[in-house]
Amino acid sequence: MWLKSYFNLSNDRALWGKIADAIFAGPKATPGEQGNIDPRVKRSYFEQSWETKITALPESLKKLLQMARSVNMRLESWNPSKEIKRSRQIWFHGDASPRLRLLNNSRAAHCLKERHGLLTVGQAEDLANHLEKHEHFPWDECECEHCVKAEELGCKHPHTCFSKAKELLDMLTPKWDPRKSDLEESEDDLVTSKNWNEIDTRITTHGTLGDVARIFMEGPTSKSLVPPAHKDRCQPDESPVMVIVGGVDNKRGEVEARSGAGLLIKRPEGIEEKSFRTPERYGNSAPAGELYGVLKAIEETEPDQPLNIEVQTKATVELLMKKIPDLEDRGYTGIPNRKIIQKVLASVRSRKH
């Protein structure tokens, strides 16, 4: 429990979390070879790559670290939100190229810390953004409003500083780079061909960094705790099974109102037609029928067989493509067809393709 309360890494996190970081970063616990790291940027041990000397820590923090290490604690998320990415510390960012560590000591780096007060990824992004402004000219003598503002802080070379901020960001792994954020963008990668969308089962994590702290147990229990690895891409020589799904309903309000799904399954060896009635617990509307059809299509094909599903309504595609992270964040409150949506997702996630 206490491990978790530490990992509420936002500004308002438990005071003792801040104290813990101060002790991790303190001179006593600083390994000799890291003595030259600017103490101002050592803010958050678990997010950053600086080290602490475990033998120099008080007993309780020793235990905390040992526990965090034994459960392989790290910051992990399928898709951290832009806000979370921006909230991380830029200096000694833990998910960056090792070259980031070499960028701490230049004149610009010093100015960024000293005068621009640069600490977070978000601040770096804002500074780097000035380079894109049409009113800005790429030299230190530029007099645009952004450069003038920087000069008011005492900066003598705003352009150099903005460029350095960009250089720092360029060291981040794509997953943690706020400029490559949004689910929408990564969704573009999923489109396998025109008119076909891969159902996006990834989750954007919103909230604070504490929400992306994950515990990875070692040993046989790991499967249930570790998010599934990236799905294999279909190889060009694998031809997917294609299923056309249609949902139908009887007239609403009739006593026997029920919905159902029709499937047209196209395999290399032939076409098969199937139809199913939607179990009552999943609802009796046509959308419920269509979602049930998707579920059946998944169940009818081998789990490692590439599968393309065509549904008849745009609403279902949009639901499965775009709305899931949102629904999951909101715990599906007030969502019709909640049960069948969750069921479909669970089965998509268990597939290899």
Residues forming contacts to Zn ion in the complex (CB under 5 A) are 111, 136, 142, 144, 146-147, 155, 161
**Taking the alpha carbons of 30, 86, 13, 333 in that order, is the dihedral positive or negative?**
negative
- Closest CB to Zn ion among 144 and 335? 144
Q: How far apart are CA 75 and CA 215, in angstroms?
A: 9
Residues forming a β-bridge with 248: 260
- Closest CB to Zn ion among 115 and 258? 115
CB of 108 to Zn ion, least distance (A): 6
- Closest CB to Zn ion among 43 and 136? 136
3-state secondary structure of 314: helix
Continuous H helices in the chain? 2-6, 15-25, 59-70, 82-87, 107-114, 121-129, 145-152, 158-170, 183-190, 222-225, 286-300, 314-318, 324-329, 338-349
Q: Is 288 exposed, middle or buried (0-12, 13-18, 19+ CB in 10 A)?
A: buried
CB of 98 to Zn ion, least distance (A): 25
- Closest CB to Zn ion among 37 and 111? 111
Using DSSP bridges, classify how beta strands 79-80 and 204-205 pair: parallel, antiparallel or unpaired.
Answer: parallel
Which residues contact residue 16 at a Cβ distance below 8 angstroms, ignoring those fewer than 6 apart? 6
- Closest CB to Zn ion among 2 and 139? 139
C-alpha separations of 160 from 140, 165, 171 in Å: 7, 9, 17
CB of 196 to Zn ion, least distance (A): 40
- Closest CB to Zn ion among 42 and 146? 146
CB of 153 to Zn ion, least distance (A): 7
CB of 294 to Zn ion, least distance (A): 46
- Closest CB to Zn ion among 107 and 252? 107
Q: How many CA atoms lie within 13 A of 25 on its CB side?
A: 22
- Closest CB to Zn ion among 73 and 109? 109
CB of 122 to Zn ion, least distance (A): 13
Q: How many CA atoms lie within 13 A of 209 on its CB side?
A: 25
Closest CA to 199 of 263, 245, 249: 245
Phi, psi of 233 (to 5 degrees): -80, 150
C-alpha separations of 297 from 28, 130, 248, 291, 346 in Å: 61, 50, 16, 10, 14
CB of 90 to Zn ion, least distance (A): 15
Using DSSP bridges, classify how beta strands 74-75 and 213-214 pair: parallel, antiparallel or unpaired.
Answer: antiparallel
Amino acid identity at 105: N
Closest CA to 52 of 84, 30, 76: 30
CB of 99 to Zn ion, least distance (A): 21
CB of 103 to Zn ion, least distance (A): 14
- Closest CB to Zn ion among 136 and 296? 136
